[in-house]
Every structure is written in C-alpha cells, then in structure tokens.
Chain A
Amino acid sequence: MWKDHLTEIIIFAVLFLLVSVMGFVAARWRAPNDMAHLDEWGLGGRSFGGWITWFLIGGDLYTAYTFVAVPALIFGAGATGFFAVPYTIIIYPLVFLVLVRLWSVSHRHGFVTPADFVRTRFGSPTLALIVAITGIVATMPYIALQLVGIEAVLKTMGVTGESALARHLPIIIAFAILAAYTYQSGLRAPALIAFVKDTLIYIVILVAIIYVPYKLGGWGSIFDAASAKFEKSPAATDGLLLNANNQIYYISLALGSALALFLYPHSITGVLASRNRDVIKRNMSALPAYSLLLGLIALLGFMAIKSGVKPLPGATKGTVDGNTVVPLLFDQQFPDWFAGVAYAAIGIGALVPAAIMSIAAANLFTRNIYKEYLSRNATPQQEANVSKITSLVVKLGALAFVIFVNPQYAIDLQLIGGVIILQTLPSVALGLYTRWFHRGALIAGWVAGMALGMWMLYQIPNLNTKREHFGGSNFPLEKFGFDTKWTIYVGLVAVAVNLLVAVLLTLILRAARVPEGTDGTTPDDYFADEGDPRVTPGRARDADSARESVA
C-alpha cells in the first residue's frame, strides 16, 4: 500500500520537482548566443569544461538501469554480475585512444553524430545511413529501460494501480516533464541535472556501504551468506566466484560491453560536448570514480541476499521482478526519509541518460536522415527544430513501449542493442584510425555481423523466464560444434565475423577496382584542438573565436 510509504513518496516528489525546475532554467545556463542551432541545443555549444563533462558523462554512462540491474544480476547469479567493474575500467583507456580523435575531426568539420563522420570519411551516404539507423534502433530500448528503472522504484513505494492508466500515470507525468525541459534546454538540461543526480547517488552509496554492512554483521558475513545461497542453488552458472565454464563469457562480456558502450550515440554526444581534447583526456582519469561507485552498488546485491530480500512479482504470473531487489533493500534497511532520498537518486538518475539518449537519437535522425534525404538545404535553425521535435517523438516511443509492451522486451531489446551497436565498430572506431577498409566491404561486414548476432541470440533460451529465444547473450560454444560447456558473449563473435568479412571484401573490391569514394578528412583533422580553424560543411561559420575562450 502506498500509504505506508508516504514519507518516501513525499521526499521523492520534492526532489523530482526540484530537478524539473533546474531542467527548465538550464536553457539560460552558460547563455548561448543562439539556441536555434544544433550545436547549441544538441551539444551544449561544444563548450563543456572538466567538471561539467565529468558529471555529464558519468550521469550518461551509469544509468538508473545500471544501478538497478547490476545488483539484481549479482543477487541472482553472483560473480558474473561483477563484469560491470572490468567493463567500466577498460572503457576509459579506449576512449582516451579513440574518441579523442573523433572529437578532433568532429570539431574541425562540425560533425554532430558518428554517422556524420562516416559519411565524410568514406564518402558513403549509405554507410552513414546504416550507422545512423543502427544507433537509433540500439538507443530506443535503452531509453525505455530508464523507465523500467523508475518503475522499479515506484513499485516498491506501492505506487501501482489496477488499471493500466493508473499504474503508468506517474511515469507518464515524469516523462512529460522530462520531454518538455529537454525540448527547451537541450543538452544543457541533463548537464545541469547531472550535478544533483550524481551528488545524491554518491551520498546514498557511501551511506549504504558503511551503514548496511554494519547493521548486517560486516562484509565477511555478507559474502558468506551469498556463498551459502549459491551453493544451495542447483544452477550451474551462479557462485561467489567464476567457474570453469563462464570465465570466457565474463571476459568477452566485459570487453564487448566496453566496445559497445563507447559506440553508443549518447556516449559520443557526451564526448563531443566537451570543450577540448584536454578536457576529455583528463576526464578519463577522473571518471573511474564512477566505476568504484558501480562496483560498490553491485555489491548491494549480496547485501540483499543477507538481508533476506524477496523480489516483488514480475509482469507475468510466476516470475519475479529482479529489478526491485535494490529498492526493497533500501526499504528494509534505511529509515523512511533516507529511502526516499535513495529512490529519488535512482529516479533522477533515469532522467539524465534518458535526456541525452533522446538528444543523440534525434541528432542522428536530423543529420543523417532528414538533412541527407528529406531536406538537403536545411538551415542550422531548421536542424535544431527538427531535432527538438524528434526528441519528443523518441521519448513518446519509449513511453509507449513500456506501457503497451511487456517491459521484459525492453530488457531483451537492450541486450540486442549492445550486439548491434558493436557492428558499427569497423566503420566508426577503426575508421578513425584507417581509411584502408572499402565502404562496400564495411556494409557487407555489417550485414554479416548483424545476421550472425541475431541468429546467435535467437538460439539462447532463458531458464528463468522459460522462454526459448533471446534469453541472454551467453552463447554456448557447443552449438558451433566445440566439445565444451564454455559460453561466450554474442556481440564479440559477431563483430569478429563482421571484421573478417570487411577485410576479405576490401581486398576483393580493391582488386576489382571498384570506386572507393573520397575521403573528406585530412590526417591533420584527427589532432585538431580548441582554437584550430574549422571547416563547417555548407555555410561556413567562424565558430572558434570569442565563445570558446570563456572558462
């Protein structure tokens, strides 16, 4: 019953309203010269310094869903769920090496999306369209998942109802507010809200990792309780440590997820919004603070085992909603008012990435579909308007998804999203280093990787939800004919095949002298920094003078 949770609900609502006001005020923050330009609305004027970038990218990569789903995984399976830690360690050196180049070339050419880069680099609108569509399709379910994060909190507070409308009303209101201030303030809104979100999360977690183990009898006994639970369970995949069969999966999942994460449009949007190369590089040293946070949050799953949490029922009969594990732990262990703060941290935590993701998807549509195919001569002002409207449509789509479709599908689709976004690795990430690949070969490689990835995911059943297909990303190698119980992450296999096809076909197409297209970038572009001259496609814009000298 919601009345038992009144204090929690009030605190949650007050903090939520506070950040909503901030979202609207953000339009005036670091006042832009001209908001009616995609650089301003969609990239915050490409002007964010070290601190803002730290909060923005941190708030962007570590989503509400992560905070809810990773401990849920640890709660259910143990060690495997801890892949989130190596995953978020190895991503930063990768960004340091690769995305800094993307920042430079985008700075010089005025690129807003990864597909913009691919179009100019390989002279292929088709390849750019493929990258754009892949990005949009991978991002949509990710936005829907943020809603799943908020729903887990609302459910725990007892804010549910009999009819579908009553049950979803709070989320509809929350998303309407989010949509309105994103429309008005663009990337500045999540950048400003990220300050509140991250501060709340850090406070909640610091308290949780000191106070809860103290109440539960210390860390040692928490790990022992988890170990006892996994020893009793008949499943072969769980345990306090990895076993012989899931180590390859652990490694490939951590590596594959890291490669996927920095290809997601919303990560790239966060990186492109920074002021210069130095800001990005320094942040790669500072952002792992969030990885420590995530590692500790993951361990909340073990605390929930010790605390005896029983997850709430899921959407269909006989299943449980693992995502309610962390909210329930807070409810059991914290006083009401602090549980309210913790819920607000998760709820607000959903808004920041949802806003950035919808902006990133909208930018992809505007730049690589609208401008490319529908209105060649769109002015920057028209681009900004189309992006603003698209961001609304994208959020409506995500909302409809959660209301009308079983949320479980959002989770499955996000799993697929990681696999498909990885297929843009050769054209986007390797494209930043080399123009060796043939554009036709990159398209063929993408098709091969997608087909294989889908087939592999289709083969994986889920034992918990009793479904036969798309049940996970751990592909048993015995299906390839190997005599082993090892499993491996689908995305990594698919992208390996993608690369193989791209390499072979590049050799063939080159031997056949098929035209390669032109490369609109020069080697120097990949090192351009703040203050270097820009080449903006179409109408030239002297961007780099006064505005960026502001500290």
Chain B
Amino acid sequence: MSEPHAEEPRRAVDPEPAETAVVEAKDRNPWNWLLFVPIVVPLITPLFNRDAPRLFGFPTFYWLQLAFIVLGVGTTTLVYQMTKKRR
C-alpha cells in the first residue's frame, strides 16, 4: 500500500481536476446536509428575540437559545450514527 507514496508524492494538477469530483462523491452523504440545521437555526434572530413566554423566569431569548444546544447535540449525534463506518 505504501509503495506509491514512498517519497513525497508530487503530481501536476489538472487544469480541470477530475479528481475533485471523486473526492466529493466519496464524502457525500445526504445525512451531512442535516448539519446545516444547527448552523442556520441559531442565527435566525426573529425566532427568539422576545421576552415572553418565560421559562423558569428566563425570557425566550435566553432559554430558547440554550435549547438550541440540544438541537446541535441531537443533530451531530444523529449524523455521526448514520455516517459511521461499519467495520
């Protein structure tokens, strides 16, 4: 396996790199797109920029953003489980 890499490999880059397509294909897993949910949702301020309803005395602005942490954890866990390599 290590033969082709014995010395630091140097190869010219295609002007139109065909290999990039292969890279994307191998990494592409539809589950990964789900990760954009916890990236985008916490940035939509109209969702949470209000005081009422309060929860344990916390205005919505504060408790809902803290709740987004759970959203982040849930999503990354799900994507991790779904994209895990089977050994």
Q: Which residues of A contact B (CB under 8 A)?
A: 79, 82, 85-86, 89-90, 92-94, 96-97, 101, 218-223, 240-242, 247, 250-251, 254-255, 278, 281-282, 284-286, 288, 291-292, 295, 299, 433-436, 510, 516-520, 522-523, 526-527, 529, 533-535, 537-538, 540
Contacts of B49 in A (CB 8 A): 79, 241-242, 247
> Pick the contact of B61 from A79, A251, A510, A540 — CB < 8 Å?
A79
Interchain residue pairs A-B with the least CB separation, the first 10: A220-B57, A219-B57, A86-B42, A93-B35, A523-B23, A535-B5, A285-B77, A533-B2, A89-B72, A285-B76
Q: Is the interface of A mostly helix, strand, loop or mixed?
A: helix
> Pick the contact of B20 from A241, A523, A535 — CB < 8 Å?
A523
> Pick the contact of A526 from B6, B27, B69, B76 — CB < 8 Å?
B27
Minimum CB–CB distance for A513 against chain B, Å: 9
Contacts of B35 in A (CB 8 A): 93, 96-97
A101's closest neighbor in chain B, by CB? B27
Q: Which residues of B contact A (CB under 8 A)?
A: 1-2, 5-6, 8-13, 15, 17, 19-20, 22-24, 26-27, 32, 35-36, 38-39, 42-43, 45, 49-51, 54, 56-59, 61-62, 65-66, 68-69, 71-73, 75-77, 79-80, 84-85
In addition to A223-B58, A516-B15, 20 A-B residue pairs with Cβ atoms within 8 Å of each other are: A85-B42, A85-B69, A89-B38, A90-B38, A92-B72, A93-B76, A94-B39, A97-B35, A223-B54, A223-B59, A278-B84, A281-B76, A284-B80, A288-B72, A292-B69, A295-B62, A435-B13, A526-B23, A527-B27, A534-B2
CB–CB B80/A251 < 8 A: no
A sample of 13 cross-chain residue pairs with beta-carbon separation below 8 angstroms, ordered by A number, consists of A85-B68, A90-B39, A90-B72, A96-B76, A223-B62, A247-B49, A250-B45, A433-B23, A523-B19, A535-B8, A535-B9, A537-B8, A540-B6
> Pick the contact of A284 from B15, B20, B76 — CB < 8 Å?
B76
Cα A522 to Cα B85 with chains together (Å) = 21
> Pick the contact of B12 from A221, A250, A436, A518 — CB < 8 Å?
A518
Known: A86-B42, A86-B43, A435-B20. A288 touches B69 (CB 8 A): yes
